[in-house]
């Protein structure tokens, strides 16, 4: 039975390969691939340590990402989106019912460049997603501090780094905090 592309909806997926020994179903229309995680795990078990590939594939600006919810082409359930990292905006779509992942055009190459091609199944775990959210929250907090402190942000960062390595950091902060009430608002 032919499966339709979850992105194009009207195009059939056909057998292809993401890597030499890694089969997938490919869409000629959007360039996406449906990857069986059973096949992926088999490929991973039979691979020497997967080294990232720097040169092949789509340029990072050519990497697609589907922002709308996708339905699994096999069971028609909604696929769940999983973030790769706080730096990469792309999300891999996973059907938890069929154990199939949808890779938009260029996402395998992105996984490869991020050294995640050999660790794809880790992306779908709660600890991974928690780390992504934590890193993103830290980045947002730093951005807010940067905006709030303006030109003083770099100096505040230097002070923070100096305090991190200082055995008397708590005492220094207590001392500096004494002048807090003296500072005009």
Last residue of a domain, one of 124, 141, 157: 124
Task: Tell me, yes or no, whether 56 and 19 share the same domain.
Answer: yes
Is 44 part of any domain? yes
Is 60 part of any domain? yes
Last residue of a domain, one of 75, 102, 124: 124
Residues 6+ apart with CB under 8 A from 90: 63, 65, 83, 84, 104, 107, 110
Task: Tell me, yes or no, whether 137 and 104 share the same domain.
Answer: no
Terminal-residue alpha carbon distance, the chain = 70
Cβ(116)–Cβ(128) under 8 Å? no
Task: Tell me, yes or no, whether 111 and 142 share the same domain.
Answer: no
> Given strand 100-103, what is the order of strands in its sheet?
14-19, 22-26, 33-36, 100-103, 91-95, 80-83
Per residue in 38-57, pLDDT (tens digit) is 999 999 998 876 555 554 44
Banded model confidence at residue 71, pLDDT cuts 50, 70, 90: very high
Task: Tell me, yes or no, whether 40 and 114 share the same domain.
Answer: yes
pLDDT at residue 181 in the model? 73
Per residue in 17-30, pLDDT (tens digit) is 999 899 999 999 99
Considering only CA atoms, which of 99, 102, 95, 92 is closest in space to residue 76?
95
Per residue in 120-144, pLDDT (tens digit) is 999 999 999 999 999 999 999 999 9
pLDDT of residue 101 exceeding 80, the answer is yes
Distance, in Å, from the CA atom of 155 to the CA atom of 106, rounded to the nearest integer, reads 40
């Amino acid at each position: 039975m032919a499966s339709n592309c979850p992105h194009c909806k009207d195009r059939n997926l056909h057998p292809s390969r993401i890597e030499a020994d890694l089969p997938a179903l490919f869409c000629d229309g959007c360039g996406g691939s449906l990857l069986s995680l059973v096949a992926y795990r088999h490929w991973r078990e039979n691979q020497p340590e997967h080294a990232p590939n720097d040169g092949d594939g789509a340029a990072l600006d050519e990497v697609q990402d589907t922002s709308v919810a996708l339905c699994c082409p096999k069971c028609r359930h909604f696929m769940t989106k999983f973030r790769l990292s706080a730096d990469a905006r792309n999300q891999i779509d996973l059907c938890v019912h069929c154990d199939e992942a949808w890779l938009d055009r260029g996402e395998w190459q992105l996984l490869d460049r991020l050294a995640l091609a050999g660790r794809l199944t880790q992306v779908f775990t709660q600890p991974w997603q928690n780390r992504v959210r934590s890193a993103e929250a830290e980045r947002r907090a730093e951005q807010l501090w940067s905006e709030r402190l303006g030109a003083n942000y770099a100096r505040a960062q230097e002070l923070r780094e100096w305090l991190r390595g200082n055995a008397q950091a708590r005492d220094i902060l207590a001392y500096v905090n004494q002048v807090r009430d003296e500072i005009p608002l």
